[in-house]
Structure 1
Amino acid sequence: MTYKTLTAASLAALLLGTGGALADTWRYAFEEALEEVQGKFAQKFKEEVEANSDHEVQLFPFGTLGESADIMEQAQSGILQFVDQSPGFTGALIPEAQVFFVPYLLPADRDQLFSFFRNSKAIHELFPPLYAEQGLELLTMFPEGEVMMTTTEAVASPADLNEVKFRVMTNPLLVESYRAFGATPTPLPWGEVYGALQTGIIQGQENPAFFIESTKMYEVTDHITRPGHNNFTTAVMANKDFYDGLSDEEKQVVQNAIDTAFEFIIEYQTGLTEESLTKIQEAKPEMTITTLTDEQRAPFMATAESVEQEFLKIGGDQAQAILDQMKADLAAAAGG
């Protein structure tokens, strides 16, 4: 039996056997390894909860309970109390969350980016009811780092992506974005990506630098390109029935831990991108790392309007309201 094929009943039995049934134990799964950004956030959350309550937080890194779809199902069913998952995977459940994949919408400036995530009305007011409809309490969203392309051939323009099978998350708008970039978008679960690159089934994928380095994606690609089109966003959620059942004091413990972990992870990311790129270059000196010029980025940026229009078509009933509020929030973050 593999974790990926666990039924809800067998998973519950497994968790009962590992102490998961204890009333004071909260289970928290995420999409990355323990020492990656989501794992660091989860560890800080665990530390804060356990220091300020009688509860224990049990952490489940990527792969221990299956793929992203598996942990979301487990969170919705109440097997997990907390889950960290990118809108890239929740887009099928919450189509409005796909807005985070409109290219060149989020700012490249770190101060503006962090101000947006701290203060955004879209995140803190408009998104929570949409998550609640799916049985989830949205606790926070945070950025994980500039998204970069890793490919087997160099990329300097959309023409270089022609006929390139490019792995994307199972997210309709991300598919549309890479189609607009000129690639052949190929949705794949994360667990299959390294092997697919190794065997030539796909020729590219995107992720922040720390993830490219830690998962050794550079071993099966030869070029990293920085088109500046996005910053990877993730969301921490609780099972809503569980959260609603907490006392006011327990809810405050959770929110304080979330707030502390948010500030911690923002600070943790300082210098992380360049440090990760240095490690990649040291591990594979022949790897090319290219930051596209403004001129080179222009044709990629020109696709943003068409992807935005596609979002308005497929992004759910609140798509226009979400997009408008996000733009207002981004303008505020930029001082506009």
Structure 2
Amino acid sequence: MKLFRNLVLAGLITATSLSAATWKYAFGEGTSDPQGIYATAFKKFIEENSRNKIKLYKVGSLGEETDLMEQTRAGLIQFLGQSTGYMGGTIPEMDIFTLPYVMPTDTKQLDYFFKNSKVINEMLPSIFNKHGLELLSVFPEGEMAITTFEEFHSPADLKGKKMRVMPGSPILVETYEAFGASPQPMSWGDLIGALKTGMVDGQENPTVWIEAYGLDNLTKVLTYMGHGHFNASASANKKFFDSLSNRDKKLIRKAAQYAHKVILKEAQKLDAYGLGRIIRTNPTYKIVTLSEEEREVFKEKAKAVQKSFASKSKENKKILNQMIKDLKAAQKNTK
């Protein structure tokens, strides 16, 4: 009887520990930034609907973006929030989100696309699985803007300019080469120092990031050229996810859906708030929006980058073709 009681007690302890786990979630931004807002909403849902806990690790807590990816794939971190621009080096197909002049800037079209895209919902999950990850969500953070020391209106104006790009994405390098500039892959942690010392002549980020981290104070011009959108993904370590009970798997999927809804609403506000704050606090800062005629020149240059992406693999070509169909459906259904 004593042995039986010990076995029952051991079983109860094991069951309790399994139903009250603490999971690590690391992301590449601050807690008030889009990835942080998503992660906080995810944590809230998990903790309100289970005994599990989520411990959040913001940018810099556990290393740079590449470190977070390696730690997640190794199972040291259970959940990862990361910009799609950082993921191309590990998951080449994710460069689809970085291609210039593919993603729309219209928020209604973006919302429809991220909810209904076959690329996201049907094609990318199996690709993530091959890399030891379980895709939970892909979401927008804001239209890309470029900050520079000098105004530009054409590729000729960018000739020789050293432009910082996120490391790990060959497409970003190809994009700025096509635009006439000299791309400089560089981690976020090195960017501010590089701008202060003139090591780079400019960089790109969504407006909310530019304002939040004072990049407008380090440059003189912000330019909207309509070339892209800043996007992020949320994923889990696949072995960890596969080891969970069906109940916890459903919990995580529902938490991802909840966080996705939260960030879609917030993302529409963040760029506008960021730009408004720049205008109020830095009134002499120049804001430029390229004309359609000026954009056409950059769009022509971008075609070579799109073609390059499609030529890298059959999977890339299939994803690009489906992406175009998905975006056309988004445009049609949001008129």
Alignment of 1:309 with 2:302, yes or no, is: no
Q: Which amino acid aligns with 1:208?
A: P
2 CA distance for matches of 1:74 and 1:85? 13
What SS is found at the alignment partner of 1:26? strand
What amino acid is aligned across from residue 319 of structure 1 in structure 2?
N
CA distance in 2, matches of 1:157, 1:224: 15
Q: Which digits, 9 at most, give the CA deviation of each residue in 1:299-333, with x for residues without a partner?
A: 1111221111110233x441111111111111111
| Gapped regions of structure 2 (runs ≥ 5) | 1-17
User: Which residue number in structure 1 is paired with residue 278 of structure 2?
Assistant: 280
Cα distance in 1 for residues equivalent to 2:214 and 2:138: 26
Structure 1 stretches of 4+ moved >3 Å: none
Which of 72, 77, 80 is 1:75 aligned to? 72
Q: Which among 33, 37, 60 is matched to residue 34 of structure 2?
A: 37
SS state at 1:302 partner? helix
Counterpart CA distance in 2 for 1:271 and 1:130 is 32
- Unpaired runs of 5+ residues, structure 1, are 1-20
**Residue 324 of structure 1 aligns with which residue?**
321
- CA distance in structure 2 between the aligned counterparts of 1:281 and 1:194, rounded to whole angstroms: 21
Deviations 1:94-132, CA, capped at 9 Å, x for gaps = 111111121111112211111011001111111111111
Which runs of structure 2 are paired with 1:172-211 in the superposition (5 Å)?
172-211=170-209
Shift of 1:272: 2.1
Aligned to 2:136: 139
Contact residue 311 and residue 317 of structure 2 kept, 8 A: no
2: distance between equivalents of 1:131 and 1:105?
22
Supply the AA of the counterpart residue of 2:185. Answer: P
* Cα distance in 2 for residues equivalent to 1:130 and 1:230: 23
Alignment check: 8 A CA contact 2:107 2:268 kept: no
Measure the CA separation in 1 of the matches of 2:49 and 2:231.
28
- What's the secondary structure of 2:283's corresponding residue? coil
Q: Does 1:220 align with 2:227?
A: no
For 2:99 and 2:45, the matched residues in 1 are separated by 34
Matches within 5 A, 1:55-74: 55-74=52-71
Amino acid at match of 1:75: T
Q: Report the AA paired with residue 190 of structure 1.
A: W
What is the CA–CA distance in structure 2 between the aligned matches of 1:151 and 1:205, rounded to whole Å?
7
* SS of equivalent residue, structure 2 residue 136: strand
Identity of aligned residues (%): 42
Q: Please give the alpha-carbon distance, in whole angstroms, between the structure 2 residues aligned to 1:241 and 1:295.
A: 50
The one-letter amino acid paired with 2:258 is T
For 2:295, the equivalent position in structure 1 comes to 297
* Residues in 2 aligned to 1:34 and 1:269: alpha-carbon distance in whole angstroms: 14
Q: Describe the SS at the equivalent of 1:27.
A: strand
Q: Which amino acid aligns with 1:277?
A: L
TM score, norm. by length of structure 2: 0.91
- In the aligned structure 1, how far is the partner of 2:295 from the partner of 2:251? 44
Query: Does the alignment pair 1:126 with 2:123?
Result: yes
Amino acid corresponding to residue 271 of structure 1 in structure 2: K
CA RMSD across the alignment? 1.4
Give the TM-score normalised by the residue count of structure 1: 0.91
* Number of equivalenced pairs: 315
Identify the residue that residue 12 of structure 2 maps to in structure 1: none
Q: Cα distance, 1:206 vs. partner?
A: 0.3
Q: Assess if the C-alpha contact under 8 Å between 2:20 and 2:51 holds in 1.
A: no
SS at match of 1:66: coil
**Per-residue deviation at 1:141?**
0.3
